Amino acid sequence: MSTKPRNRNFQGRRRNFQKRNDSQRGNQRPRETCSMCGKPISDITTALSDPENGSPVHFDCVLRAVKEKLKPAEGEKVIYLGNSSFAVVDYKMYQQRKLKILRRMDWEVPEEKSDWVKSVRLKSLS
């Protein structure tokens, strides 16, 4: 019995070899820019809507703004609960996997969805 691989002609991906991008998915929609920092948003699915004008915003920019608004004290942490809600929790309880919510803040109004959010959802479903 031989110890050589069965497919001897297979070379695998060569080093420093650029994979050819035949996909047109990236070119289908224009890149959005964050209304807070002005930088382009590379992954629109992680963005949230700005409550003032409805434009897309980086998640990290929203998290920074929420931290400035809620101002967590020593021993507190700001976390994302989901559905565009943030909360300040007790950090010691958080490390023990127990959630004690001290303050809560909704970033977006759930009933009002922006047009760009609806278009991203429709494209992801199809």
Q: Can you give the residue ranges of every domain in the chain?
A: 31-111
32 conformational bin, left if phi > 0, alpha if psi -120 to 50, beta if neither:
beta
Per DSSP, what are the bridge partners of residue 48?
57
Tell me how far CA of residue 114 lies from CA of 1, 43, 51, 98, 122, in angstroms. Answer: 64, 17, 10, 34, 13
Torsion angle, CA of 112/82/59/22, rounded to 10 degrees? -90
Q: How far apart are CA 18 and CA 27, in angstroms?
A: 19
Torsion angle, CA of 30/35/38/41, rounded to 10 degrees? -40
Q: Indicate if the pLDDT at residue 41 is higher than 80.
A: yes
Global pTM reads 0.68
The per-residue pLDDT for range 62-108, each reduced to its tens digit, is 999 999 999 999 999 999 998 889 999 998 888 888 888 999 999 98
Q: Indicate if the pLDDT at residue 12 is higher than 70.
A: no
Are residues 74 and 86 in contact, defined by beta-carbon separation less than 8 angstroms?
no
pLDDT reported for residue 71: 93
